[in-house]
Structure 1
Amino acid sequence: MRGLIQRVQHANVKVDGEIIGEIGPGLLLLLGVEKDDDQARADKLLEKILKYRVFEDEQGKMNLGLKDAGGSLLVVSQFTLVADTRKGLRPSFSSGASPEHGKAMYDYFITRAKASHDQVATGQFGADMKVSLLNDGPVTFILEV
C-alpha cells in the first residue's frame, strides 16, 4: 500500500462537476493499493499518516502530526501510484490490486480513517475525479508500508 500525502491549505475532489469531498487545512492522501495489501497494511499506513510529523509547531519545526495539528484528511484512490516505472516508457501495473480488491481495501481504509479521525472526506473509487488543492509548503511525501 502506497500513499502520497500533501500538506494543503485546502483541497477538494469533484465527480461530474460536483464537489464530493472537501477539506480545509490538513492532508490530501492519494492512496494506491497493491495486490498483496491487507487490512494490517492499511491499519499501519493509516496510523503513520495520522501521526506523520509534517505540521509546524510553535517553533516553526515540522513536529506535529495531523491529529496534533487538528487538520482534516481527504482520501482519494489513485491506482497509478503503484505503477512500476523503472523500465521503458510505459508504466506497468502488474503489482496493482484488482478493482475488487482495490475497492475493498479503499473502503476498509476509509472506514478505519473515519473511526480514528473526526475530519475525513473522500473521493469516489474508480471515478474520473478532478482534484484541486493548494499545497502548503509545498510539503509532499510518499509513504509505503
Structure 2
Amino acid sequence: MDENIQTFWHQFCKKHKINENTPVEAWAFGATQKDANALASLVDKGIKTATTSAYELYGKDEKLPKVGEWSIILDSNAKPVCVIKDVCAEIISYNLISQEHAYHEGEGDRSYAYWRKVHDEFFTREYKEHGKVFYPQAPMVCKVFEKIK
C-alpha cells in the first residue's frame, strides 16, 4: 500500500475511532480505467452497494470476501475515493443472481436486463482471458457492502 493510501486509511481510522492496524485492502473496480472511475463514483455516491466476481477465477492465494472486511476503493490513478465494509458475501450461480442484487450494483438504469447484458459481456471476456468458457451456472461471489461516511 503506497504512502497516500496509508495516510488516507490512517485519517479514516482516526475519524471513525478504528484501530489503524485493522486489516484493509485497497483496490479498484472494473477492467478499465473508465470502469474504475465510474464505479468508484457510484460507490462514493452510495448508489453502488454490491458487486459480483467470478469464483472460479480467484487465484490460489486470493482470499474470498468475508463479512466485516474493510476496503479502500481506488480510482483509475490508484487514489483513494472512499472506504467500504462488507456486510454480506455468498456464492451464487450466475443464472440465480437476483434482480435485487443487480439493482444494488447500481449500474446503468439499474434494471436486471441492463445488468445481465453488461455482465454477460464482462464475464465472457474475463473467462476467455483465463482460457475458460463462461457458462450460465458459473459460481459467482456476490458481495454487498456499505460505504462508511
Same fold? TM cut 0.5: no
Taking CA–CA contacts closer than 8 Å with sequence separation of 6 or more, which of the two structures ends up with the larger relative contact order? 1
- By percentage of residues, which structure has more helix? 2
- By percentage of residues, which structure has more strand? 1
